[in-house]
A and B are shown apart, each in its own frame.
Chain A
Amino acid sequence: MRKLLVSSIVATTVALGGIAFAAGELSLGIQGPETGNLATYGQKTLAGAKLAIDEINAAGGVNGKTLKLINYDSRGDKAESANIIQRFINKDKVCGVIGEPTSGATFVIGPIANKAKLPLISAGATADGVVEKKPYVFRDTLLDADGAPATLKFLMDSKKWKNFVLITSVNNDYSVSMSKIFTNAAKKFGANIVGEQKVSDGDKDFSAQVTSIKNLKFDAIIYTGYYPEASLLLLELRKQGINAPIIGGDGLLSPDLWKVAKDAALGSIIFAGFSPEAKAKKIQEFVEKMKSRGEADMFSAQGYDAVYLFADAMKKAKVTDCADVKQREGIQKALATMPEFDGVSGKMKFDKEGNAIKKPFIQEVAKRANGEYYLKLLNE
């Protein structure tokens, strides 16, 4: 009896789902951690994506149909991520999935989506190998391999800096790999790494490292780790009388950097995939609209761009029914061959593996007249 009840409920749900399609909707899936300790990533991406969906529907939708966003919370749990992507493939039959802002979870869902020929755009994954050899998997994130060399070249040209000290956090993969990128870039552009120091995540005492570089001549310090150590390092540098700024990636991108280091953080250079200070009209409008939805940041910008990427591709492929694998192939083709896309997280184009080729937003920590710290955009 119970079995009968269950199956009739399932039948009704499926039927209702069918009706929804008939009513003229195209759906996109979005998955990411909306709760747990990575919750900000998922929530921000979702907020940006929702804004894009609302805008597109207000402008008449895609191919005469309204766009619907289905979101599931993966809680930062990889097993849950795998379940969700299966649900998108088998039950919701979405046109594409925006997801997993983290590399780890995208490693899990990428191959599953690729096998089912479901286009996927990760709005956050940065690790090597996330998109490679998976034609249906894309990412709209700025990669360190693009961002770090571009930043170094920009600083060498605009600030005439030539000599650098490189400090790596040796127990942090992100830092170790970015230091390699910076070393190679320095070789390529003719910059000198005059000294190298090592620190570890969790260190509090940097006096020995700072004393070791004190007698070297350099213009700036490249620090490739995260902000908690960076802020302490900055304090130690100023204490020992070194006034050179530090340069780093989005690992430094947190207000805690200047909340702890205060004026010692002034002049620090941070490159990232988004800047709310950018003057481009599109970006300012996005920042304004996001104010009521929890402030714009890199993740919300990438979530927003991912929806527009899908919408553009769906228009080009004239998609009407995503249960049809032929139409999903069309979306994939449209994404892979898309000419330069002008997003709020910068102009981008996909390379043949599905990586977005983007320019970094190079920013400097500065102080307003009222004593408030902010990030001044340098390259515009």
Chain B
Amino acid sequence: MLSSLFQQFLNGITVGSIYSLVALGYTMVYGIIKLINFAHGDIFMVGAFIGLIISIKMGTNFTLVIFIAIVLTSFIGVLVEKIAYKPLRNRNSARISALISAIGVSIFISNLVVLINGPQNESYPQLLPNNILQILIILISIGLMYGLYYIVHNTKVGIAMRAVSFNVNTARLMGINPDMVISFTFAIGSLLAGAAGVLVGTYYRAVDPFMGMMFGLKAFVAAVLGGIGSIPGAMVGGLILGLTEVLGVAFVSSSFRDAIAFGILIIILIVKPTGLFGKKTKEKV
């Protein structure tokens, strides 16, 4: 009984740490340009598919697979930003236009993959040994998150990111190029999503073109739970969401899986709209 409880916790933390990786992308982009990037879930899916292609064409070396996948997804993330969001931002359009654009990109990407490969589940090769799979996934996620934390707090570009998120115009006056910083943010966020995609494929051993939809939404819930815009918030939010989901399925019922995730979203929005780690901001008039 105890060992099975421990196993359930491990299941929850594994899913949770992947949620965290994806949630970080949402939260960083929101922190910088106040945009909910709904295409983020599909970048995650593309990352999983790139990993699949690499492992078929170039062999099942996990390090190589995840490396190529994150490099390519960060390029795709920047490309999406340049094509779908930057023109809108430059024209000072309403924030809702960028949001609609994001939804459009999301639908476009998932259907593009359907067009190329069909809508079915695809088998994923075994990239990591089964017995330590969950531990490895958790360690890799933690490693990536630590890397991000280091970049944001200890490098020049990290300082620039934080400056832009405080105030774009002031940052510009200080000699920071906000476009560069925004592109960098998209690159980093998409990189984490790409890594998460490969990890999910390795964990469940199957991927499909619409996996980004639900997973992305859940990660978004995790980001809101932790306080959107807050990096530690996204990490903690993902873990809490993963754990409650798995324990809910194990001890209540599987039909509550999505109800738990979105129930949390509703409760957070009612009780503490800024999330666990969110800062209260006063609108200045």
Which A residues are within 8 Å of any B CB, using their own CB?
Answer: 170-171, 197-200, 202-205, 207-209, 211-212, 214-215, 228, 231-232, 235-236, 238-240, 256, 259-262
Would you call A232 and B255 a contact (CB within 8 A)?
A: no
Would you call A200 and B257 a contact (CB within 8 A)?
A: yes
Q: Could you say which of A204, A208, A212, A235 contacts B211, with CB atoms under 8 Å apart?
A: A204
Please name all residues of chain B whose beta carbon is closer than 8 Å to the beta carbon of A215 when the two chains form the complex: 1, 4
Minimum CB distance partner of A214 in chain B: B4
Would you call A208 and B250 a contact (CB within 8 A)?
A: yes
In whole angstroms, what is the CA distance A378 to B220 when docked?
48
Would you call A256 and B120 a contact (CB within 8 A)?
A: yes
In whole angstroms, what is the CA distance A207 to B8 when docked?
8
Check: B123 CB closer than 8 A to any chain A CB: yes
Check: B117 CB closer than 8 A to any chain A CB: no
Minimum CB distance partner of A229 in chain B: B121
Please name all residues of chain B whose beta carbon is closer than 8 Å to the beta carbon of A200 when the two chains form the complex: 254-255, 257
Check: B138 CB closer than 8 A to any chain A CB: no
Would you call A198 and B133 a contact (CB within 8 A)?
A: no
Would you call B4 and A232 a contact (CB within 8 A)?
A: no
Closest Cβ of chain B to A54, distance in Å, is 33
Would you call A170 and B211 a contact (CB within 8 A)?
A: no
Would you call A209 and B249 a contact (CB within 8 A)?
A: yes
Q: Could you say which of B1, B121, B200 contacts A228, with CB atoms under 8 Å apart?
A: B121
Check: B246 CB closer than 8 A to any chain A CB: yes
Check: B214 CB closer than 8 A to any chain A CB: yes
In whole angstroms, what is the CA distance A311 to B132 when docked?
63
In whole angstroms, what is the CA distance A209 to B206 when docked?
18
In whole angstroms, what is the CA distance A232 to B211 when docked?
13
Please name all residues of chain B whose beta carbon is closer than 8 Å to the beta carbon of A240 when the two chains form the complex: 7
Minimum CB distance partner of A238 in chain B: B130
Check: B162 CB closer than 8 A to any chain A CB: no
Check: B122 CB closer than 8 A to any chain A CB: yes
Please name all residues of chain A whose beta carbon is closer than 8 Å to the beta carbon of B250 when the two chains form the complex: 208-209, 211-212
Which B residues are within 8 Å of any A CB, using their own CB?
Answer: 1, 4, 7-8, 11-12, 14-15, 120-123, 130, 133, 200, 204-206, 211, 214-215, 245-247, 249-250, 253-255, 257
Please name all residues of chain A whose beta carbon is closer than 8 Å to the beta carbon of B121 when the two chains form the complex: 228, 231-232, 256, 260
Would you call A260 and B206 a contact (CB within 8 A)?
A: yes
Would you call A203 and B254 a contact (CB within 8 A)?
A: yes
Please name all residues of chain B whose beta carbon is closer than 8 Å to the beta carbon of A198 when the two chains form the complex: 253-255
In whole angstroms, what is the CA distance A273 to B213 when docked?
36
Interface SS of B by simple majority? helix
Would you call A232 and B246 a contact (CB within 8 A)?
A: no
Would you call A204 and B254 a contact (CB within 8 A)?
A: no
Would you call A208 and B206 a contact (CB within 8 A)?
A: no
Closest 3 CB pairs of A and B: A207-B11, A208-B249, A208-B250
Ordered by A's residue number, 9 sampled pairs between the chains whose C-beta atoms are within 8 Å are A170-B255, A197-B254, A205-B249, A209-B254, A212-B4, A214-B4, A231-B121, A235-B206, A256-B121
Please name all residues of chain A whose beta carbon is closer than 8 Å to the beta carbon of B211 when the two chains form the complex: 204
Q: Could you say which of A204, A208, A228 contacts B11, with CB atoms under 8 Å apart?
A: A208
Closest Cβ of chain A to B154, distance in Å, is 35
Would you call A205 and B214 a contact (CB within 8 A)?
A: no
In whole angstroms, what is the CA distance A240 to B133 when docked?
11
Please name all residues of chain A whose beta carbon is closer than 8 Å to the beta carbon of B249 when the two chains form the complex: 205, 208-209
Would you call A171 and B11 a contact (CB within 8 A)?
A: no
Minimum CB distance partner of A235 in chain B: B205
In whole angstroms, what is the CA distance A228 to B123 when docked?
11
Please name all residues of chain A whose beta carbon is closer than 8 Å to the beta carbon of B215 when the two chains form the complex: 204
Please name all residues of chain A whose beta carbon is closer than 8 Å to the beta carbon of B14 when the two chains form the complex: 207
Closest Cβ of chain A to B203, distance in Å, is 9
Query: Which of B15, B121, B245, B255 gathers most chain A CB within 10 Å?
Result: B121
Known: A205-B15, A208-B11, A212-B4. A260 touches B122 (CB 8 A): yes
Would you call B133 and A261 a contact (CB within 8 A)?
A: no
Closest Cβ of chain B to A210, distance in Å, is 9
Please name all residues of chain B whose beta carbon is closer than 8 Å to the beta carbon of A238 when the two chains form the complex: 130
Closest Cβ of chain B to A38, distance in Å, is 15
Known: A170-B254, A198-B255. A205 touches B123 (CB 8 A): no
Name 13 extra pairs, CB < 8 A, besides A200-B255, A204-B206, A212-B4: A170-B253, A170-B254, A171-B255, A202-B214, A204-B200, A204-B215, A205-B245, A208-B8, A209-B254, A211-B7, A215-B1, A228-B121, A260-B121
Please name all residues of chain B whose beta carbon is closer than 8 Å to the beta carbon of A202 when the two chains form the complex: 214
In whole angstroms, what is the CA distance A232 to B122 when docked?
11
Closest Cβ of chain B to A94, distance in Å, is 37
Q: Could you say which of B123, B200, B214 contacts A260, with CB atoms under 8 Å apart?
A: B123
Would you call B123 and A261 a contact (CB within 8 A)?
A: yes
Known: A200-B257, A212-B250. A259 touches B4 (CB 8 A): no
Please name all residues of chain A whose beta carbon is closer than 8 Å to the beta carbon of B204 when the two chains form the complex: 204-205, 232, 235-236
Closest Cβ of chain A to B254, distance in Å, is 4
Please name all residues of chain B whose beta carbon is closer than 8 Å to the beta carbon of A212 when the two chains form the complex: 4, 8, 250
Closest Cβ of chain A to B262, distance in Å, is 14
Q: Could you say which of B7, B245, B247 contacts A214, with CB atoms under 8 Å apart?
A: B7
Please name all residues of chain A whose beta carbon is closer than 8 Å to the beta carbon of B8 when the two chains form the complex: 208, 211-212
Closest Cβ of chain A to B127, distance in Å, is 13
In whole angstroms, what is the CA distance A238 to B205 when docked?
11
Please name all residues of chain A whose beta carbon is closer than 8 Å to the beta carbon of B214 when the two chains form the complex: 202, 204
Q: Could you say which of A170, A171, A203, A259 contacts B123, with CB atoms under 8 Å apart?
A: A259
Closest Cβ of chain B to A260, distance in Å, is 5
Please name all residues of chain B whose beta carbon is closer than 8 Å to the beta carbon of A228 when the two chains form the complex: 121
Q: Could you say which of A207, A211, A232, A259 contacts B15, with CB atoms under 8 Å apart?
A: A207
Minimum CB distance partner of A254 in chain B: B120
In whole angstroms, what is the CA distance A276 to B186 when docked?
53
Known: A228-B121, A239-B133, A256-B120. A207 touches B246 (CB 8 A): yes
Minimum CB distance partner of A207 in chain B: B11
Known: A208-B11, A231-B121. A199 touches B206 (CB 8 A): no
Closest Cβ of chain B to A231, distance in Å, is 7
Closest Cβ of chain A to B129, distance in Å, is 11
Would you call A262 and B123 a contact (CB within 8 A)?
A: yes
Would you call A199 and B254 a contact (CB within 8 A)?
A: yes
